[in-house]
Every structure is written in structure tokens, then in C-alpha cells.
Structure 1
Amino acid sequence: MIQNISVLGAGTMGHGIASVFAMHGYRVNLYESFDKVREGVMQQIWSELQFMVEEGYIPGTKVEETLSNITIYRELGPAVEHADYVIEAVPENMQLKQNLFQQLDNLCPKHTIFASNTSSLPLHEMTALLSEERKTRTMVCHWYNPAHLIPIAELSHFGNMSEEVFNEVYELYLRAEKQPVKVLKDIPGLIANRMLHALAREVFSLIEMGAASPEDIDKALKFGPGFRSATTGMLEVADMGGLDVWCTVENTLFKELSNSDRACGMMQDKVAAGKLGLKTGEGFFSYPEEIREQVKNDFNRRLIIQLKASRNYT
């Protein structure tokens, strides 16, 4: 049974993954090699937990309880030597992940299960330097950002591990109040990101053709298909509407939709100009310095409202 968890990387995703497991009573070793990130991560976790308290999602007692379950490490060996489950959230670089898994194979107990938070790199390549035995205990466990608020976790079931090992991880995620999705094919983007970026491709195409303003395009999504998708899956929606109706619409519409095989020109121009969104103050919208924290809090507040509501229909 999984009891001791190690999370490798305390950045954007790793610190949230660590806090979720710690919040649900697991002892978590959080490894981070960069001093600046490591020294500030506990404050960041505290701040996010405190926000959840203020929004009425968790009781105040959960903050110190969660923090007390997390131990920070600057050296990899001590962070993983007793781990039952290790999940890495390091940068999306194949060689980096291959070398990391090879190190872990030498440092961890034989029973340790390895996981990667990637959604874009193939599992069989990441595990190329592992022993054959360890490959049977290695998988993808992909979280969504922000990790502490988005319920989904995509778990690979690609035929390399036993049902017993897979189910052990699946149960771990259920106990952590996640909604695990069993992914059967090792495909780029897995499931959720493929759907997300198929939608994003059409959104960006609509902006480029001047079909509506960015504000109205986002409004159309939030109060149209997005409103429904928060509680109802696409296949269920199709059944509700009638497959004959959907078939007729798609036969007419699909040939008109974007089929671009790369990011839209407008986005590439913005990236080249350093207009990266909230973190630089401008993307599709503008974010003056004085409102950035408020914008981020409003974003997370809406997720918490949705998270509360999801308890009623899962």
C-alpha cells in the first residue's frame, strides 16, 4: 500500500501535487534542486491553502496539518530512499527525464512505483534506460494546472504494468479526491489536452478571422458549450441532443473548421513580442501590475466554486 510519496520538482505543478497528497494525510518528500524555488515553496503552498480556507473549501486546521506532512529536500537520494510512489514534475525534456528515472532506479526500493506528470512525452522513451522490471512499475500520472484545484488525473494503462499495480495507484488518487481517467493509448496529449487544444485551435482561428472580439469569444465558450461541459460530457450531450442532429450539423460544419497543424499566427506573434499573458502583463487581454494578483485570485475562486459544486454530481 502506498504511504510514502516523493514529488520531484517544486515548481508550477510539483508544489500543488505535493500539497494535495499532504492534505489527504500522506507523508510527502518534496525535492527541488533550485535554491530560490525550494526556499519559497512552503510559503507558496501556505498561501494557496489559506486561500482555500478563506473560500470555505477546507477548514483552517488543514493548513498546518498539510504543511506538517511535507518535508523539503535539496538532495535527491534522501528524498526518495523510502518512497512507495515517486512522481516527477521536472521540465519537459526527454533526456532529463530519462536520466532522472535511471537515477531513481538505483536510489529507490524495488517496490517503488515511478510516475511522470508529462502529457506530451511517450512513456516508452522516458523509460528507455530503466531495467525491465522497473518498467513494469512506471507510468504517466498527468495532472492539470492548478494541480490543487483541478480534479482530473490521467493515469496511463498502456499494458506495461499489472492490474494490481495500476489499481494501487488508481485507489491512491481516489483517496486524494481526484477523478482518475484510465488512458489506454500512449498518444501525444493523452485525453484531456487533445480535447482542449482541438477547441483552442478553433478559438484562435475565430480570433484571427475577426469573427468576434476576444471578450465575446470567451463569453460564447463560458456561457455556451463550456457552461454545459462543466457537468456533462460531450458524448452524453450528443445523446441528449440526438445523434441524427449532431451528424447533420457535423457533415455541414466540419469542412469549415480550422485544421491548422501549428499554433495560430497571432499567438506566435504575441510570443515573439514577449506578450505571454498574465505573467508578462499582456496576452490576448491586458493585465496591469496592480490587478494581476486579483485576476489570479478571481480565476482560482471560480475554480473553487466549481470544485464545491462538483461534489454534488461526481
Structure 2
Amino acid sequence: MPVPALPRLGLGCAPLANLYRAVSDEEAEATVAAAFDAAGDAPAYLDTAPHYGLGRSEERLGRALAGRDRASYVLSTKVGRRLRDLEPGESPDEQGFTDSPRRARVWDFSAGGIQATLEGSLNRLGVDSVDIVYLHDVEDHLPEVYATGFPALAALREQGVVKAIGFGMNVSGVLARLVADLDVDVVLCAGRWTLLERTAYDDLLPVCERRGTKVVVGGVYNSGLLADPRPGAPYNYTPAPEELLRRAQSIAAVCAEFGVPLRAAALRYPFAHPSVVSALVGAAGAAEARDNAAMFARPIPDELWPALVERGLLDADVPLPLSSVVAANAAGHAAAAGGNGGER
């Protein structure tokens, strides 16, 4: 089954589940509506997971999608963590989400567990199918992934239950191993291919390019440092080290010389690599979703990128997202949109 053509900007739906701060049902619905408005006549791309707020992200997204044409959006969710109701006396382990439903996460890579997890997601989302299913944060569960988790997901792909399968995590070296070993259509790699990090360029992206595996990037702001590089800003969910803070501030200063917001540069940069097809950015309100779209559409002069190299803020050997490069990569993805994402 062909990998769906992905819009280049997608909405990450973890914030809809009260990630770090409460979001109302109305705010969540308005966020999704703003993502559709930004997509215009093209499909919107929406990514969620049972992990996000113990199912709350999927529930809120499902209500926001009710009544919309199924062809108007591409939808991905994740498996690996099955949800169950809490036993009497148990408290939810919210893991950064607030006011979550009374449920618990259970790691489950059995065939039955994968099937049950997906069925639960479909029920919460109110849809008959999703387009992409990622095995989520599996770096500490590789024996189970190889033995049962990925074979179960591959069987669902062969049955036509899902169009594309892959892995989503922030450990690019593990992703590289999985792509090399398995028939992976697409990976979601968070935080490892950004203006501040090249890890995925060294380990994951060469394997994806060789295998024809598509890459969705998440965490383009490295959890906040590249959105607002102020003292105390988060980097990978903890306060940024002083050296990285200074580097982010220096990148922002060069961007300002060219009239470019740092967020716009951070969103554009990953598309320098030909395997990258989409960037997922979270939003916890309609204004944030509209701002993401505006930053993504912002014109960026080609002269910015070599200036960052000349000042030692980007390595000389990394690809640069020159307008001709980004356009050529996008055209290549469009031409290949009907093909399978990996070697078969």
C-alpha cells in the first residue's frame, strides 16, 4: 500500500492533552480548526498517540474531526503503550500531562496488544482507519519489537488496515538500526535534526536515504530553546546548558540580521535533507497554530545559511536549505508519492 503524501507542516497534538498546562476543550477544537485553515485546500496532517494525556489527545482530536471529510486530513497515531482503566486506589502517572483520565499505560508489544491499542485509538478518534501507525519510544524494548511488535504492525499493513508503519522516538541511532533491519515506511524523529543538533544527519538520515524511508521531523525547537532562547529556556525538556543557550542566541542574532525570526529558520532547516518530508509542530491554541503556519511560510533569503556556516554556527559539511534545494526535494517527494517508502 502506498505511503500517503504528507503535508510539509503537521500539527503535533500532544499539547491538546494538557501538556504542562491545561487546555480547554474549546481551545483544543480551535487549534485543530486553525491547522485546517492553514492547510487551505491541501490535506492537514495531524499526529497523536494514546500516551498523550492517557488518551485525552485522541479524544479531543476525534471530537474536532467529527463531520470533516476523511480525505481532508492525514492522521497518524502510535502503539506500544496500551491503555487500561485504573484499579481502585491507583493514581494516574500523568508524565507531564495534567488532569488526565483515570487510566494507566502498559507496555504491550504482543500482536493482541498492538491490535487492541490501535482499536482503542480508532474508538477515541471516531474514525475507521488511520494512515500511519508508529511504534512509540521503543528504544528500551527492542527484543519485543523485533519478536512481536513490528511483525504485528507489518501484518496490519499487509491486511490494508493501515497504509504506512514506522517508529517514532528521539533516539536517532536506534531509529537508524530499525530502518536498516526492517521494512520501515516512515520514521518520526524528534529533536535530533535541528539547527542545534546533527545527530540524525550522521546516523539516521543516510540509512533512510539509502532505504527510501521517509522522515518526519519533530522537536524542531528542541522543546523550546529554538523558539525563545532566553535564560532558563528548555532544551530537551530541561533547562538549556549555557553553551547551547549562547549558540542559540547567536543563531537568533544572525537570523535577525537577515530579517528572519529564529522560529522560521528552525522550521525550514530540516528540509535541507532529501529524506525529510514533513515537520510536526505542537500547538496549544489557535494562535500558536496560526503562528506556526506563518513561520513556516516566511520567506528566507538563501544568504542566511552560508552566513551561519561562516560564523561557525552550522557545520560546513551539513546540507543547507537553499530555496532551490528545498524545492527540488519537495518535487522529488511529490513525484514519488505513489511508491512504497522502503525496500521490499
Assess same fold via TM > 0.5.
Answer: no
Return the TM-score normalized by structure 1.
0.33
- Name the structure with the higher helix share: 1
Higher relative contact order (CA 8 A, sep 6+): 2
- Name the structure with the higher strand share: 2
Return the TM-score normalized by structure 2.
0.31
